[in-house]
Amino acid sequence: MKDRLTPLTIPSRKGRLAIVTGASSGIGKATARALGLAGADVVLAVRNLEKGTAVAEELRAEHPEGTHTVARLDAADLDSVQAFAAEYAARRVDILVLNAGIGGTRRRELSPQGHDLVMSTNYFGHFALTAHLLDALRRASRARVVMLGSLVASRGRIRPDNLDLTRRWSSGRAYANSKLAMVMFARELQRRSTAEEWGLNAHAAHPGWAATGLFPANAAVGAGQFLGGAAGVMQSSGDGAQPIVFCAASRQAAAGGYYGPIGMFGTAGPVGRATLPRQARSTRDLDALWQATQELIGVAFPTGS
């Protein structure tokens, strides 16, 4: 599918280190391409090293001036997350794009640590990665952390005592909750960064209805029904990546903001402000999610630093 939008104009990111999780396809690959074009040193953090290496070689062939390296990261596995973070903990990380994700599973599957696989891949692993890389992010000047939301985040309902969905599990609920959690994580990370003087700019963004290959055919049909037929106006992964790239690099992206396409019910079009899900507006709910996540996965951010 061809790009329809005019490419974003973003400032040079030369000399900046950018980590993009799930960068071997779709939105992650398009984001890695755009940041590389802007001069960033891009790390493709991927589960499949062979696939990631092929993508890095493709991007380097397209634009030899871009720097793309590959490192293994399975966002669903907290041990893999910790091992990956250890490789970059002593460095300066300027941009962290938390994109890796799965659309759903036919039945409830578990991560290596026994958590729901969808929640682990889309949210828990990214929460842990950000915590482990906090010092590396603080070494940068206003590091950007970008969380991937979704149009269906508004359908999620976070219950701190059931984050793992051990009760009332469904594939759709797990996905919607994981994306709502990511939007809420961005909001709370920004609030705590301001209070603790971490110096981060946290953002959330969603790609609208983009051709990413994330969902199997049956899930795509369900999403089409949810979007009331507007899902027929699908955009390319390159166009879908624009809100993410905007948050990662544009000076116009407001800290704590939520961005996405502004045309056709938010499914496609140029970048603008997206409507925050109700729970993402509640300071009490944001704090409750943060505390429950730390307790559940055993990874905590520092306090009073």
Instruction: Round to whole Å and give the CA distance between 93 and 17.
Output: 5
| Structural contact between residues 84 and 72, judged by C-beta atoms closer than 8 angstroms | yes
Q: Which residues contact 241 (CB under 8 A, 6 or more apart)?
A: 27, 30, 31, 34, 207, 210
CA 86 – CA 291 distance, rounded (Å): 24
User: Nearest 10 degrees: CA dihedral of 250, 255, 257, 261?
Assistant: 10
Measure Cα distances from 295 to 28, 55, 77 in Å. Answer: 29, 36, 17
Residue whose token pair is 């981060």: 200
Taking residue 33's Cβ as centre, other Cβ atoms within 10 Å add up to 24
Closest CA to 32 of 70, 81, 4: 70
Write down the catalytic residue from 88, 175, 258, 259. Answer: 175
H/E element, 148: strand 143-148
Determine the length of the chain: 305
Asked about 258 being catalytic, the answer comes back as: no
The enclosing H or E element of 96 equals strand 95-98
Q: Is 34:16 a contact under the CB 8 Å cutoff? A: no
Strands 41-46 and 67-72, sheet pairing: parallel
What does the DSSP 8-state code read for residue 127? H
Contacts of 84 (CB under 8 A, 6+ apart): 45, 71, 72, 73, 129
User: Catalytic positions, please?
Assistant: 175
